[in-house]
Amino acid sequence: MLNLPLDIDAIVRQVLADLGAKGAPTSNVSSNVPSNARGDVLPQKGGHGGSEKTTLRLLDSLVTLAALEGQLDGVREIVISPKAVVTPAVRDLLDKKTIRLAIGETMGLSENTVAVATLRQTLKPTIQPIATVDQEKPGVWLVLHGQKRKPEMLLHFLQQESTLAEDSFSCIVKATQAAADRLKQAEDTAARVIVVTNYSAAAMALANRHPAIRAIQVATPEQVIQDAAVIGANMLVLHADRLSAYRMKELAKAFVFQTTTQCPDVFMKALT
């Protein structure tokens, strides 16, 4: 997260003051949200004078247990953006607490609340998908090694969110060599390769012998984002037999939505 030289809450309070001066209601917005909060807690009264219902709006593109820590008291609904990745652990926690998960930019929010949430999102950068309406989709090369069936859920996601090229290999050595050649020739620094194989250890060892490849193999979307950011990973290895179809898609989603695959200089010097 970037440290911006801005007092975000001060700006938000000024906007609320301006709205209040025009006669717009502002009681739906909490004024004491800390500047490092990941979302906005929005109190809402029931339509028949019932108890207060609280909605938590999250701006994160990856919703983890850490993102929810200390924010669920009194919350009955969480609103996330359509592109957000929700980890299985979070879904389990919300089920246990009977908290509703809603998807949508403005669901359950007043006009003032939407304006404030939009202002916070503008001033406080979060990890955002790189495939948007105004931006070119990332290029992804899907390498299938020794797979009798294609991973349909993964394919469907990649076809929707990326410019997809697909290839199949019977030899993991040839697959990683082809991946290295492709990444080396790619002019786009956002080029990515996803390898689906049952020989993930061999794929990792072979891939990372090539200077053009920075491969990672992880178990959770959180680890994808963390590990990919450290080395500017441009290859994700998925072990087909150890991952469910849903988990493969979620890992790929976190990988594809990384904003860059550029390797930091400190590591690039050692890897080339």
- Average pLDDT along the chain: 74
Q: DSSP readout, 182-227? A: HHHH---TT-EEEEEES-HHHHHHHHTTSTT--EE--SSHHHHHHH
Q: What is the pLDDT of residue 207?
A: 93
Residues 253 and 161: beta-carbon distance below 8 Å: yes
Joined tokens for residue 140: 């992804």
Take residue 210 and report the two structure tokens written for it.
Answer: 């090539």
Query: Does position 99 have pLDDT exceeding 60, yes or no?
Result: yes
pLDDT of residue 83: 75
Q: What is the average pLDDT across 143-159?
A: 92
What's the CA gap between 88 and 85, in Å, rounded?
10
The residue with tokens 């984002």 is: 225
Q: Is the pLDDT of residue 119 over 60?
A: no
138/164 Cα distance (integer angstroms):
9
Most confident of 53-57, 67-71, 253-257: 253-257
Q: Which of 155, 144, 147 is nearest to 249 (CA)?
A: 155
CA dihedral (90, 95, 99, 103) positive or negative: positive
Average pLDDT over residues 251-272: 79
Cβ-contact 195, 178 below 8 angstroms: no
DSSP secondary structure letter of residue 62? E
Ranges of H-type helices in 69-108: 88-96
Helical H runs in the chain?
Answer: 8-21, 65-68, 88-96, 111-123, 152-161, 172-185, 200-207, 221-231, 245-256, 265-271
Whether 230 and 224 have beta carbons less than 8 Å apart is answered as no
How many residues would you count in the chain? 272
Domains of the chain: 8-123 (3.40.1340), 139-271 (3.40.1400.10)
Q: What is the C-alpha separation between 207 and 196, in angstroms, rounded?
A: 13
Q: Residue 265: what are its φ and ψ, rounded to 5°?
A: -55, -40
Pick from 235, 232, 231, 263: which is nearest to 177 by CA?
235
Rounded to whole angstroms, the Cα distance separating 84 from 71 reads 18
Confidence of residue 31 (pLDDT cuts 50, 70, 90): very low
Over its C-alpha atoms, the chain yields an Rg (Å, rounded) of 22
- The pLDDT tens digits for 167-217 are 999 999 999 999 888 888 875 566 899 999 999 999 999 999 988 889 999
Long-range contacts of 251-255 (CB under 8 A, 24+ apart): 251/218, 251/220, 251/221, 251/224, 252/154, 252/157, 252/158, 252/194, 253/85, 253/157, 253/161, 253/221, 254/62, 254/85, 254/221, 254/222, 254/224, 254/225, 254/228, 255/192, 255/194, 255/224, 255/228
User: pTM score > 0.85 for this model?
Assistant: no
What average pLDDT does the segment 76-103 reach? Answer: 84
